[in-house]
C-alpha cells in the first residue's frame, strides 16, 4: 500500500522497475522461469519483507515483515503478483511448474502448522486472501476455513471437542466458496441460514447449536448442487486451486476495475494470493476477531481505535451483521491479549513510522496478527497525525511531509456548517462520525440515482442501509454518505475517509426502505429528494438544508479568525513551512483580481503566474465599455473607448500588485476571441424581433449594428481563431492600453515605495515575429510612462508557450522573451487536437478503454505534451540560460504534473488560489523525489 495512503489519494504512479518486473514475470511458461513465484512465511522467518510490496502485495509483505519481527502470525505463503499476470497471459491457467512450487510450499506450511490439508484426524485449514500492492478495501474476496469437507469437519470436531465451532466454520466456508468460487449469490445461502434460525427460534448467529448448524450445512450443500449443477468439491487441493483462481479472477471484476479507475491504479500490477493457516476467533467465548488503528483515522487523535466481536470470524466485524464492541472493552474481557495487542501495534507503528491499520484474531486467549498496513485516513487526520508523530519524534519533519498526500490538504479547506444555522435544526438522529465534513443534500437511495441526479446539477446525499463496494460511483459524486448499519470500520466508513467524503455510518434509528425510496427517523418520513444534512465530525443528522461555511483554515486565511484560535490551522501552517524548506519550485497563483491575489498570498503563493486581464472586463459597468471598444469601426473610436477602460484596468493592476506585496506578477494581455464579450447571436435576434414588433427605434438600430458585428466576428473555430497575440497584432491599441495600465500602476506603487517588477506576457505566440511586434509596443509604452512619471522601474516581457510551433521554435522565441510560461491547457488542446470544451464527450470512453490512462487536461501528458515542454525548456535555456520558466495551466495544481515540472527544471508553478497548499506540498514531495501515491 502507498506509504502516504491518505484520504485524498488519487494518483498512484507505478515505478518503471515494477513495470519491468511484471513484464519479466509474464514470460510464457515454455521459455522456462528460473524465477521464484511463491514466498513462504512462518516459524519466525519469511522469504519476503516490507520492501517487496510489488511482488507480494501489501498484505503479503506485511505478513512477511511481521513474521520476521517475531510477531505471532499464523504461517503461510504468498503467491506473487506476477503469477496473476501469468494467469491472465495463459488465459486462466496456472503453469504446472508454478503449481508444483505452490504444492512444495503447502508441504512446508503443513510442517510448520503441524497439520495436514485433508487429514481427517488433524486437518489443516487455510484462508485464501487476495492482496494487491495498493489496498482495495472489500474489493476482492477472502475465503476462510478452506480444507473442510464432510470428513474433516468431523475431525475438527473430534480434535477440538467443539462441534458447534466445527460446523460454524464449515457453513462459513461453504458460503464463501459457493459465492466466490462458484459465483452463487450470497442471498441464496443467507435465505437458508435465516430459515433455519427462524425454525429454531435463534435470534443471533451464535444462538444456533451444532445441530442447527449441521442443518445449515446440509442445506448449503443442496444450494451448491442446485445452483452449480455439481456437488460441493470435497477434495481440499481442488478447493485450493479453485480459490486461488477465483482471487485472480476477482482482480478483473467490475467493482475492482471501477475502484482502480477512481484511484488511478493500473490493471497490470496484479494481485497476490496469500494462503495462510487458519486461527479461530469463532471457537468460543475466549476467542474473538477484530480490527483497529493505532490512532483515530477520522480525527487523527492519538487514541487506540477499533472494534471487535467475541466468538466471531473474519468479516463479521466489518459486515455489520452484529454490532461490534469498541476495542477498549477488550481490555476488560481479555486483558492479556489486549495488552499484547497494544504492545505489538505500538511497536508496529514505530517500525513502519506510520499509523497502522491492523487485523487480529484471538483464539483461546492467544493473540494472532493477521494484517498490518499504513492506515488510510482523512485529510484532517493526516495533518494531525503527521504533526503529532513529528512532535513525538517518531518521524522527522521530512517524513511527516511524506505522510501527507498533497491532495489531502484540499479536504481541510472544505466547508463546514455555520454553527448558528446548524443549531436551529433539531438533531433527528446520531450515527458514528466516520469521516468529517459538512454534508447537505437531497436524499437518494441508490448509487445510480446519485450519479443521475448529480448530472442534473443537484446535490445529493446517498442514504443506504450499508454501502457495498458496488456503490463507489455513487459515493464519489454524493455530498455525503449516510448508512444505518456498520461500524467505524465498515465499508462506507473506510471508503468515505479515503475519498474525503463526509460520512456518518451506523445511524441505527434510520428505518430505510430502499424499495419505497424513503426512510423514517424521529417520527418523520423522509422521501427521495428531501433535504438532509449531517456533520461527519460529530455524527449528528438533521432533516433539512443547512448552509455551509468556510473551514477554519479558510477563516484564518481570510483574517476572520486568529491563527492561535485554530489548532488545525497551526498544524497546517507548520507542515507547509516544512514543505517550503524542501521545495525548490516557486509557487505562484493564477489570480485575476486583488481579492483573489490576497487570498493566494495568504495561502503562501509568492507571485502571480497568470493574471487574466480579460476577467477584469466582466466587472460591473465594464462590459459596456469593452463592447464599445469592440464595436468601434475606426481606430479613433476604439482609442476613445480604450481610454475609458484604462483607469479601470490600472486600478485592478494596482490592487493586484499591492496584494502581492512586491512579489512578481505576470499579466497576460488580452487572450479570448472578442465575441466572448458580446451577446449571443440568438439572443440578439430574439431581442430584435421583439423590438421590431414595436416599430423603429434608436435601440433597434443599435441592436442591429450589434448583430452585424456579432455576425462579423463569428468564427467556425474560435479557439483557433482571432485570439491571443493575433488580437494584439490586429488591434495594437489594445496592447498599448493594457501596457499603459500596467506600467502606470507600477509607476504609482514604485513612487509609494513598493518595488514592483511587472512581467508582461503575450499569449499564443507561435512565431517569433509575433512576439517582436508586441514587444516593441510594450517597450515603447514603458519608456513613455517612465518619462511621463519620472520614475524608473524594471519590467520583463515574455510569452506563453502554448502553441506547438512556439515550443519547437523556442530557441528563436527566447531571443525576444525574458520568460516563458507554459500554458498547458492550450498546449494540451493543440497537441492532441482535442477541443477542451468538447473533449468531455469522449475522454471518459478513452479512459474506460485505456486509450488514455488519465484526463490529459487534469494531469499532464508527460509523453506527448511533456515532450514539447522539454524541447522548449532545452531550446529556450540553450539560447538564454537565465530564461525564467513557469507553468500557468490548470496542471500547476496537480501533484503528478508538479512532479514532472520539477523534473524538467521549471522555476515555478502557478495554481489557482485554493490549490496553493496542495502545490506547496507536492513541490516538496517532488524535490524529495517522491512520486505521488508511491
Ligand atoms: P481484506 O483484504 O478484505 O481485509 P483479508 O484477507 O484481510 O481481507 O481477510 C479478512 C478477514 O478474514 C481478516 O481480517 C481475518 O479476520 C480473517 N482471516 C483471514 N485470514 C485468516 C486466518 N488465517 N485465520 C483467521 N482469520 C483469518
Ligand atoms: Mg484484511
Ligand atoms: Mg491559453
pLDDT in tens, 743-756: 999 999 999 999 99
| pLDDT surpasses 60 at 774 | yes
What residue's CA is closest to ligand 1, atom 26?
314
- Does ligand 1 lie within 6 Å of residue 596's CB atom? no
* 329 or 842, which is more confident: 329
Ligand 1 pocket check: which of 313, 371, 494 to mutate, most ligand atoms within 8 Å of Cβ?
Answer: 371
Q: What is the predicted pLDDT for the residue at 12?
A: 39
- Does ligand 1 lie within 6 Å of residue 859's CB atom? no
Distance in angstroms (rounded) separating the CA atoms of residues 721 and 680: 17
Q: Which ligand 1 atom lies nearest to the CA of residue 74?
A: 23
Most confident of 8-22, 353-367, 491-505: 353-367
| pLDDT surpasses 50 at 788 | yes
- Does ligand 1 lie within 6 Å of residue 102's CB atom? no
What residue's CA is closest to ligand 1, atom 15?
314
Ligand 1 pocket check: which of 131, 315, 372, 376 to mutate, most ligand atoms within 8 Å of Cβ?
Answer: 315
3-class secondary structure, 605? coil
Q: What is the predicted pLDDT for the residue at 487?
A: 76
Q: Which ligand 1 atom lies nearest to the CA of residue 140?
A: 3
Q: What is the predicted pLDDT for the residue at 931?
A: 52
Q: Give 864: exposed, middle or buried? Use CB within 10 Å, 0-12, 13-18, 19+.
A: middle
Q: Categorize the per-residue pLDDT at 463 as very low, low, confident or very high, splitting at 50, 70 and 90.
A: very high
| pLDDT surpasses 60 at 690 | yes
Residues 382-434 have pLDDT tens digits of 999 999 999 999 999 999 999 999 988 988 887 788 878 899 999 999 998 88
Q: Would you tell me the crossing angle of helices 916-927 and 567-582 to the nearest 10 degrees?
A: 40
* 47 or 1, which is more confident: 47
* Residues 88-97, mean pLDDT to the nearest whole number: 95
- Does ligand 1 lie within 6 Å of residue 276's CB atom? yes
* Residues 174-184, mean pLDDT to the nearest whole number: 94
Distance between Cα 395 and ligand 1 center (Å) = 30
Q: What is the predicted pLDDT for the residue at 837?
A: 77
Q: What is the predicted pLDDT for the residue at 56?
A: 97
What residue's CA is closest to ligand 1, atom 11?
314
Ligand closest to CA 671: 3
| pLDDT surpasses 80 at 522 | yes
Q: Which ligand 1 atom lies nearest to the CA of residue 136?
A: 2
Determine what percent of the chain is predicted with pLDDT higher than 90: 73
37 noted as active-site residue:
no
- Does ligand 1 lie within 6 Å of residue 26's CB atom? no
Ligand 1 pocket check: which of 144, 291, 489 to mutate, most ligand atoms within 8 Å of Cβ?
Answer: 144
Q: Which ligand 1 atom lies nearest to the CA of residue 313?
A: 16
Q: Which of 84, 449, 611, 888 is catalytic?
A: 888
Q: Categorize the per-residue pLDDT at 620 as very low, low, confident or very high, splitting at 50, 70 and 90.
A: confident
3-class secondary structure, 911? strand
Distance between Cα 742 and ligand 3 center (Å) = 20
Weakest-pLDDT range from 135-139, 186-190, 233-237: 135-139
Q: What is the predicted pLDDT for the residue at 296?
A: 93
Residues 234-290 have pLDDT tens digits of 999 999 999 999 999 999 988 888 888 878 888 899 999 999 999 999 888 999 999
Distance in angstroms (rounded) separating the CA atoms of residues 47 and 684: 76
| pLDDT surpasses 80 at 504 | yes
Ligand closest to CA 762: 3
Please state, rounded to an integer, the average pLDDT across all residues of the chain: 91
Ligand closest to CA 127: 1
Q: What residues contact residue 39 under an 8 Å CB cut-off, 6+ apart?
A: 46, 47, 48, 52, 55, 56, 60, 64, 77, 78, 80
Q: With contact defined as beta carbons under 8 Å apart, do 590 and 931 qualify?
A: no
Q: Categorize the per-residue pLDDT at 319 as very low, low, confident or very high, splitting at 50, 70 and 90.
A: low
Distance between Cα 683 and ligand 2 center (Å) = 60
- Does ligand 1 lie within 6 Å of residue 129's CB atom? yes
Distance in angstroms (rounded) separating the CA atoms of residues 347 and 341: 10
Q: Categorize the per-residue pLDDT at 320 as very low, low, confident or very high, splitting at 50, 70 and 90.
A: low
Distance between Cα 763 and ligand 3 center (Å) = 6
| pLDDT surpasses 50 at 142 | yes
- Does ligand 1 lie within 6 Å of residue 920's CB atom? no
| pLDDT surpasses 70 at 13 | no
Q: What is the predicted pLDDT for the residue at 912?
A: 87
- Does ligand 1 lie within 6 Å of residue 319's CB atom? no
Closest to 7 (Cα-Cα) out of 468, 419, 541, 475: 475
Q: Categorize the per-residue pLDDT at 498 as very low, low, confident or very high, splitting at 50, 70 and 90.
A: low
Q: What is the predicted pLDDT for the residue at 721?
A: 93
Q: Which of 491, 891, 899, 925 is catalytic?
A: 491
What residue's CA is closest to ligand 1, atom 23?
278
Residues 198-226 have pLDDT tens digits of 999 988 888 899 999 999 999 999 999 99
3-class secondary structure, 612? strand
What residue's CA is closest to ligand 1, atom 18?
314
Ligand closest to CA 142: 1
Q: Categorize the per-residue pLDDT at 6 as very low, low, confident or very high, splitting at 50, 70 and 90.
A: very low
Three-state secondary structure string covering 91-149: CCCCCHHHHHHHHHHHHHHHHHHCCEECCCCCEECEEEEEEECCCCCCCCCCEEEECCC
Ligand 1 pocket check: which of 272, 282, 361, 376 to mutate, most ligand atoms within 8 Å of Cβ?
Answer: 361
Distance between Cα 822 and ligand 3 center (Å) = 9
Q: Categorize the per-residue pLDDT at 321 as very low, low, confident or very high, splitting at 50, 70 and 90.
A: low
Distance in angstroms (rounded) separating the CA atoms of residues 378 and 589: 26
Ligand closest to CA 274: 1
Distance between Cα 359 and ligand 2 center (Å) = 6
Distance in angstroms (rounded) separating the CA atoms of residues 480 and 438: 8
Question: What is the full DSSP assignment across 492-551?
Answer: HHHHHHHHT--EEE--TT-EEETTTTEEEETTEEEETT-EEEEETTT-EEEES---EE--
Ligand 1 pocket check: which of 314, 358, 490 to mutate, most ligand atoms within 8 Å of Cβ?
Answer: 314
84 noted as active-site residue:
no
- Give residue for cell 503447502: 106
- Does ligand 1 lie within 6 Å of residue 314's CB atom? yes
Weakest-pLDDT range from 120-129, 226-235, 843-852, 913-922: 843-852
Q: Report in angstroms the alpha-carbon separations of 361 from 207, 302, 332, 743, 931.
A: 21, 23, 16, 72, 35
Residues 14-53 have pLDDT tens digits of 444 444 444 444 444 444 455 899 999 999 999 999 999 9
Distance between Cα 192 and ligand 2 center (Å) = 27
Q: Categorize the per-residue pLDDT at 933 as very low, low, confident or very high, splitting at 50, 70 and 90.
A: very low
- Does ligand 1 lie within 6 Å of residue 821's CB atom? no
Distance between Cα 656 and ligand 2 center (Å) = 52
Weakest-pLDDT range from 268-282, 424-438, 600-614, 812-826: 424-438
* Residues 773-782, mean pLDDT to the nearest whole number: 98
- Does ligand 1 lie within 6 Å of residue 669's CB atom? no
Amino acid at each position: 500500500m502507498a506509504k502516504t495512503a491518505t484520504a485524498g489519494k488519487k494518483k498512484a504512479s507505478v515505478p518503471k522497475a515494477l513495470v519491468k518486473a511484471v513484464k519479466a514475470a509474464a514470460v510464457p511458461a515454455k521459455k522456462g522461469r528460473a524465477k521464484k513465484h511463491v514466498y513462504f512465511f512462518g516459524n519466525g522467518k519469511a522469504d519476503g519483507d516490507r520492501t517487496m510490496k510489488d511482488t507480494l502485495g501489501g498484505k503479503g509483505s506485511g505478513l512477511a515483515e511481521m513474521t520476521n519481527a517475531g510477531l505471532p502470525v499464523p504461517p503461510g505463503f504468498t503467491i506473487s503478483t506476477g503469477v496473476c499476470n501469468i494467469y491472465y497471459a495463459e488465459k486462466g491457467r496456472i503453469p504446472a511448474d508454478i503449481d508444483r512450487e505452490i504444492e512444495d510450499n503447502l508441504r512446508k506450511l503443513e510442517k510448520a502448522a503441524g497439520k495436514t490439508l485433508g487429514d481427517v484426524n488433524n486437518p489443516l485449514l487455510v484462508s485464501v486472501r487476495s492482496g494487491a500492492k495498493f489496498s482495495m478495501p472489500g474489493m476482492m474476496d477472502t475465503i476462510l476455513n478452506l480444507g473442510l469437507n464432510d470428513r474433516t469437519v468431523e475431525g475438527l470436531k473430534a480434535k477440538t471437542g467443539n462441534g458447534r465451532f466445527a460446523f460454524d466454520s464449515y457453513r462459513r466456508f461453504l458460503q464463501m466458496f459457493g459465492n466466490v468460487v462458484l459465483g452463487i449469490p450470497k442471498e441464496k445461502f443467507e435465505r437458508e441460514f435465516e430459515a433455519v434460525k427462524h425454525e429454531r427460534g435463534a435470534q443471533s448467529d451464535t444462538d444456533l447449536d451444532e445441530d442447527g448448524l449441521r442443518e445449515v450445512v446440509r442445506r448449503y450443500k443442496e444450494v451448491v448442487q442446485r445452483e452449480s449443477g455439481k456437488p460441493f468439491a470435497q477434495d481440499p487441493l481442488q478447493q485450493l486451486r479453485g480459490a486461488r483462481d477465483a482471487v485472480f479472477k476477482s482482480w478483473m471484476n467490475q467493482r475492482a476495475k471501477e475502484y482502480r479507475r477512481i484511484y488511478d491504479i493500473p490493471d497490470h500490477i496484479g494481485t497476490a494470493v496469500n494462503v495462510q493457516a487458519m486461527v479461530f476467533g469463532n471457537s468460543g467465548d475466549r476467542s474473538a476477531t477484530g480490527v483497529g488503528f493505532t490512532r483515530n483515522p477520522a480525527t487523527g487523535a492519538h487514541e487506540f481505535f477499533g472494534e471487535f466481536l467475541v466468538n466471531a470470524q473474519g468479516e463479521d466485524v466489518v459486515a455489520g451483521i452484529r454490532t461490534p464492541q469498541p476495542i477498549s472493552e477488550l481490555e476488560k474481557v481479555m486483558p492479556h491479549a489486549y495488552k499484547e495487542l497494544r504492545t505489538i501495534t505500538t511497536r508496529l507503528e514505530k517500525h513502519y513510522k506510520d499509523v497502522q491499520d491492523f487485523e487480529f484474531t484471538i483464539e483461546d486467549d492467544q493473540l494472532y496478527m493477521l494484517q498490518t498496513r499504513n492506515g488510510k485516513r482523512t485529510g484532517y487526520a493526516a495533518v494531525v497525525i503527521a504533526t503529532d508523530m513529528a512532535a513525538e519524534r517518531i518521524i522527522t519533519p521530512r517524513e511527516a511531509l511524506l505522510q501527507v498526500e498533497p491532495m489531502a490538504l484540499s479536504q481541510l479547506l472544505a466547508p463546514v456548517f455555520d454553527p448558528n444555522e446548524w443549531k436551529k435544526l433539531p438533531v433527528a438522529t446520531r450515527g458514528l462520525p466516520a469521516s468529517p465534513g459538512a454534508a447537505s443534500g437531497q436524499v437518494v437511495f441508490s448509487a445510480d440515482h446519485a450519479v443521475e441526479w448529480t448530472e442534473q446539477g443537484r446535490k445529493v446525499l446517498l442514504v443506504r442501509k450499508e454501502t457495498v463496494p458496488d456503490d463507489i460511483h455513487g459515493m464519489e459524486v454524493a455530498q455525503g454518505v449516510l448508512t444505518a448499519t456498520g461500524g467505524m470500520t465498515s465499508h462506507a466508513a473506510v471508503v468515505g475517509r479515503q475519498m474525503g467524503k463526509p460520512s456518518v455510518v451506523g445511524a441505527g434509528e434510520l428505518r430505510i426502505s430502499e424499495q419505497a425510496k424513503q426512510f423514517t427517523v424521529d417520527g418523520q418520513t423522509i422521501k427521495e429528494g428531501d433535504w438532509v444534512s449531517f456533520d461527519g465530525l460529530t455524527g449528528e443528522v438533521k432533516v433539512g438544508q443547512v448552509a455551509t461555511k468556510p473551514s477554519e483554515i479558510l477563516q484564518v486565511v481570510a483574517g476572520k479568525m486568529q491563527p492561535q484560535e485554530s489548532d488545525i490551522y497551526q498544524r497546517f501552517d507548520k507542515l507547509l513551512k516544512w514543505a517550503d524548506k524542501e521545495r525548490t519550485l516557486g509557487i505562484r497563483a493564477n489570480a485575476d483580481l486583488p481579492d483573489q491575489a490576497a487570498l493566494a498570498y495568504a495561502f503562501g503563493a509568492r507571485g502571480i503566474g497568470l493574471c487574466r486581464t480579460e476577467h477584469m472586463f466582466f466587472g460591473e459597468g465594464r462590459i459596456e465599455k469593452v463592447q464599445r471598444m469592440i464595436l468601434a469601426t475606426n481606430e479613433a473610436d476604439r482609442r476613445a473607448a480604450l481610454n475609458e477602460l484604462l483607469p479601470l484596468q490600472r486600478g485592478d493592476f494596482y490592487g493586484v500588485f499591492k496584494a502581492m506585496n512586491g512579489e512578481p506578477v505576470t499579466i497576460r494581455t488580452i487572450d479570448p476571441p472578442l465575441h466572448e464579450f458580446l451577446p449571443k447571436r440568438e439572443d440578439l435576434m430574439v431581442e430584435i424581433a421583439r423590438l421590431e414588433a414595436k416599430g423603429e427605434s434608436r435601440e433597434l438600430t443599435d441592436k442591429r449594428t450589434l448583430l452585424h458585428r456579432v455576425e462579423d466576428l463569428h468564427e467556425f473555430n474560435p479557439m483557433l481563431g482571432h485570439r491571443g497575440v493575433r488580437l494584439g497584432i490586429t488591434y495594437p491599441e489594445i496592447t498599448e492600453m493594457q501596457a499603459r495600465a500596467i506600467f502606470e500602476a507600477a509607476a504609482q506603487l514604485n513612487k509609494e515605495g513598493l518595488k514592483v517588477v511587472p512581467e508582461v506576457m503575450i499569449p499564443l505566440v507561435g512565431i517569433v515575429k509575433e512576439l517582436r511586434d508586441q514587444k516593441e509596443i510594450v517597450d515603447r509604452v514603458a519608456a513613455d510612462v517612465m518619462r511621463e512619471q519620472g520614475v524608473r522601474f524594471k519590467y520583463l516581457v515574455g510569452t506563453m508557450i502554448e502553441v506547438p510551433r512556439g515550443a519547437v521554435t523556442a530557441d528563436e522565441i527566447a531571443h525576444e522573451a525574458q520568460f516563458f510560461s507554459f500554458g498547458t491547457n492550450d498546449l494540451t488542446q493543440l497537441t492532441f487536437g482535442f477541443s477542451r470544451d468538447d473533449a468531455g464527450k469522449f475522454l471518459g470512453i478513452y479512459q474506460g478503454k485505456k486509450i488514455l490512462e488519465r484526463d490529459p487536461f487534469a494531469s499532464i501528458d508527460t509523453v506527448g505534451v511533456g515532450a514539447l515542454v522539454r524541447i522548449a525548456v532545452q531550446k529556450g535555456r540553450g539560447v538564454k540560460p537565465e530564461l525564467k520558466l513557469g507553468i500557468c495551466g490548470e496542471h500547476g495544481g496537480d501533484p503528478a504534473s508538479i512532479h514532472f515540472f520539477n523534473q524538467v527544471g521549471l522555476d515555478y508553478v502557478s495554481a489557482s488560489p485554493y490549490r496553493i497548499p496542495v502545490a506547496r506540498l507536492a513541490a516538496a514531495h517532488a524535490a524529495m523525489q517522491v512520486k505521488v501515491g508511491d
